Structure 1
Amino acid sequence: MIALNLPKHLTVSDTHNWFWLSRAQVKTSLLDLTNSIGSILPSLSRPANHSRIFYAVMFDAGSTGTRIHVYTFIQKELPVLDNEMFHSIKPGLSAYVDSPEMAGHTVKMLLKVAKKTVPRLEWKRTPVVLRATAGLRLLAAEKAQALLDQVQHVFDESPFLVPDNSVSIMNGTNEGILAWISVNFLTGHLKAQTKKTVGILDLGGGSTQITFLPKLRKTIESVPVADYVARFDIFNSTFELYTHSYLGNGLMAARLATLGALGVEGTVLYMRRSSCLPKKFRDEWSFGGLTYQVSGDPDGYAGYKLCYQEVLKVVKGIIHQPYELQDSSVFYAFSYYFDRAVDAGLIDGVQGGMLEVRDFKKRAKEVCNKMTKYPPISSFLCMDMTYITCLLKDGFGFKESTVLQLTKKVNNVESSWALGATLDYFHNLKIH
């Protein structure tokens, strides 16, 4: 169960208003950390009583990048989420597996954003937390720990509040649940007496998550193992979610699996060929601190059908198909779902948009079957679009007519688990 440790002046019936009072428009900034941060950060208007403002700093250490979210809350009669400052740096911490001190340097650079966003007088009261995801889950435990130790050292030397367990690897299941909580908070679907929620599909570099609220009891009863179900009480409602995280089925890990290189140790790897790549393509590609030699098949055939057969082995028998996927409920899809839809010209890179599963399939066919004549922006676009199509159709079992909401931000806040994890810190959410 989730237990909310509410502020003393709040009653349980008040809690549904906790975050859903009118919010000031969130200001975001695409910072170039090589420039002077102070000169380009927006100045935020503050109420006269500064003690009514509090902050939280959440790091998302993903497999392909490290992101910082600096949240500003205003405590009027009830606290309001006022602002999110967001910035990201590539590559992810796992790229520094052989030079862990660089992981610490990355975090130190991003902390400059927090120092410029949070007033100096508030630093010692502002918690700073880092949660690592699949990039570190895919590493050997001692190598992952060496990276986390470097981050902990940077945190300990920072002027911010460093809580217990401030640096850790997040459980994959919690990643999906906290993303679901984030999106449903931001869309207003967790107010009291509502059972209408949205599902989430998160496609990272190393893992992928699906989380939704089933309508049919059989969906819960037919799960392969118990950890596909999370049950908790929040805002006078009980939610029993279908949720799972698949390690090794993120977009970058799926590339490796398609190429037959996932889990292969060593720094020198022989050439990996694929029908998903342009015939004449030959290059090096790096992920998770390793570099791979990859190429198209110059003597064979390329195109959608052959590529689909290659990626199908990464999905079939691995991804569980829920008994139901609500046709009446919208799924929010973000991270690489969004990025690749933008790369393929399916949606606007700022606004996002609604797509049917068949839209991914149609564009995957177009990209794959024209690789020779019209090389795509990315040589991996055919493989990636085909994998996404296969994951949605043969993996989760979505109908081709299923509508997905492709989004990067919800109400101007980044679509991710980070806000949910911040709420987790403040309220000690107990998820079972």
Structure 2
Amino acid sequence: MPLQMLILTVMCMWVLAWNFQAEATYYHRQTVHHEHSANMENLLPENLLPEVVPEVLPEVSQPVNSRTFYGIMFDAGSTGTRIHIYKFIQKDPVELPVLDNEMYHAVKPGLSAYKDKPEEGGNTIRALLKVAKKTVPEHEWKQTPVVLKATAGLRLLPEEKANALLDEVREVFGESPFFVPNNSVSIMNGTNEGVLAWVTVNFLTGHLYAKTRKTVGILDLGGGSTQITFLPKSKKTVFTAPASYIANINMFNNTLQLYTHSYLGNGLVAARLATLGALGADGLEWKVFTSSCLPKKFREDWTFGGITYKVSGIPDGYAGYKLCYYEVMRVVKGIVHQPFEIKGSSIFYAFSYYFDRAVESGLIDGSRGGMVEVRDFKKRAKEVCNKMTKYRPISPFLCMDMTYITCLLKEGFGFKDNTVLQLAKKVNNVETSWALGATFDHFNNLNIH
């Protein structure tokens, strides 16, 4: 059954009613290039949408009196910087625009890797702005807002180094021909990151529907941090959660209370360091960090955030899933809060490294994504860890990563084995990230109709 998108008035109500009220403290792939069309007609679904969404959407017809405009959002993550260039069509002067398509491009490493060379970090932004100049028509440049939000990579840096990078980005933005709003360059707090990703996914799947509270939860696993966000069905979830884990959104003249939290240091790459005992360690020039999660004969220098670590398997020791799980458990157990109702049957969309590692381990097809249960991650983690030599060409860290994901889901969040996860890189050909939600938020603040 083909997917029907949200009606324009839903988008109108959403943006006009948006008033994000969240409080949080700042904690803190090979180059990808593709273009795809979201082509959202935003028609109200006759019934609630199916969980598996089709990849191809109908073409957007553009009336004679319609106009087109663009928004540029930079996602400065811990392992890479991504640019999202959104094209919108406004069909009617009294209604808000329809998302037509998205251009996405990414470069590695992330800005945080340039903490001692901010000028070089600025050059990566210049390179991505060239993509924007080729994508956005020249006559639209001056009215196209450009925004950069940094996440865990910069949250983990000392304040002065993070500020130096942000200042460099501001200078690069100032040189660009695009419209630079106030506070266009910032570090986004983890609560906003989770909530805006939730808004993006629920908008694209059609669940932001004014007359129902049926939505999907989101699980985002980045390099430096991981987020969980969902709309609780039980008041006990709200009452038993730490106060800072509840965020309010005013939407459709109603206040929605979301459970959301970002765990700094529990992103996939940061968790590797924690598992190895290397996070915050000294003596990096001579120390070798070992783990049962790595192939016995594996040894090499590994760089994250501009710092190089010597990592190794245990040549004369044991390796495998059970020992690896024990190591990883220390990074998760007692650190990640378990929401009261998380053992329920709600559908969660999981993306970023959840998706990437599922593809690399053969759990899902990378072209389409797919539904899995938590137990499927556990089963595949055991296979990878007990055949490390087979999977080493894919990644020597695959056992550690798959075990960490399993442990995070089960021992951390407390999901049951049969909890269903919809693994997706894109929903309706738009990247599953907080970027679209953040762009909507900025359009409202800027009063761009």
TM-score normalised according to structure 2 size:
0.85
Residue 341 of structure 1 corresponds to which residue in structure 2? 358
- The CA RMSD measured in Å over matched residues stands at 2.2
Q: How does 1:33-432 map to 2 (within 5 A)?
A: 47=62, 52-77=67-92, 78=95, 79-223=97-241, 225-264=242-281, 268-325=285-342, 327-372=344-389, 375=392, 377-428=394-445
Instruction: Give the superposition deviation at 1:266.
Output: 6.7
CA distance, structure 2, for counterparts of residue 13 and residue 76 of structure 1:
13
Quick one: structure 1 residues 266 and 137, their matched pair in 2 at CA, closer, same or farther if it must change by over 3 Å?
A: farther
CA distance, structure 2, for counterparts of residue 312 and residue 274 of structure 1:
13
Q: How does 1:1-16 map to 2 (within 5 A)?
A: 15=13
CA distance, structure 1, for counterparts of residue 65 and residue 222 of structure 2:
38
Residue 21 of structure 1 corresponds to which residue in structure 2? none
Residue 22 of structure 2 corresponds to which residue in structure 1? none
Paired AA for residue 427 in structure 1:
N
Number of residue pairs matched?
398
CA distance, structure 2, for counterparts of residue 373 and residue 419 of structure 1:
38
Paired AA for residue 339 in structure 2:
P
Paired AA for residue 141 in structure 2:
W
Quick one: structure 1 residues 12 and 209, their matched pair in 2 at CA, closer, same or farther if it must change by over 3 Å?
A: closer
Instruction: Give the superposition deviation at 1:126.
Output: 0.4
List, as ranges, runs of 4+ consecutive aligned residues in structure 1 with deviation greater than 6 Å.
10-13
Quick one: structure 1 residues 48 and 398, their matched pair in 2 at CA, closer, same or farther if it must change by over 3 Å?
A: closer
Quick one: structure 1 residues 265 and 115, their matched pair in 2 at CA, closer, same or farther if it must change by over 3 Å?
A: farther
Tell me, yes or no, if the aligned pair for 1:190 and 1:235 is still in contact at 8 Å: no
CA displacement 1:71-116 (0-9 Å, x = unmatched): 0111112310111110100110111112111111000000111111
TM-score normalised according to structure 1 size:
0.88
- Percent identical residues: 72
CA displacement 1:178-234 (0-9 Å, x = unmatched): 0001111111111211210000000000000000011111100001x2110011221
CA distance, structure 2, for counterparts of residue 301 and residue 254 of structure 1:
21
CA distance, structure 2, for counterparts of residue 212 and residue 282 of structure 1:
40
Instruction: Give the superposition deviation at 1:236.
Output: 3.6
Tell me, yes or no, if the aligned pair for 1:182 and 1:419 is still in contact at 8 Å: yes
CA distance, structure 2, for counterparts of residue 120 and residue 62 of structure 1:
28
Instruction: Give the superposition deviation at 1:285.
Output: 0.6
Paired AA for residue 435 in structure 2:
A
Gap regions ≥5 residues in structure 1: 1-9, 19-27, 32-43
Instruction: Give the superposition deviation at 1:131.
Output: 0.2
Q: In structure 2, the residue corresponding to 1:382 is in which secondary structure?
A: helix
Instruction: Give the superposition deviation at 1:339.
Output: 0.3
Quick one: structure 1 residues 14 and 63, their matched pair in 2 at CA, closer, same or farther if it must change by over 3 Å?
A: closer
Instruction: Give the superposition deviation at 1:317.
Output: 1.0
Gap regions ≥5 residues in structure 2: 1-7, 17-31, 36-58
Instruction: Give the superposition deviation at 1:238.
Output: 2.7
Paired AA for residue 155 in structure 1:
F
Instruction: Give the superposition deviation at 1:50.
Output: 8.2
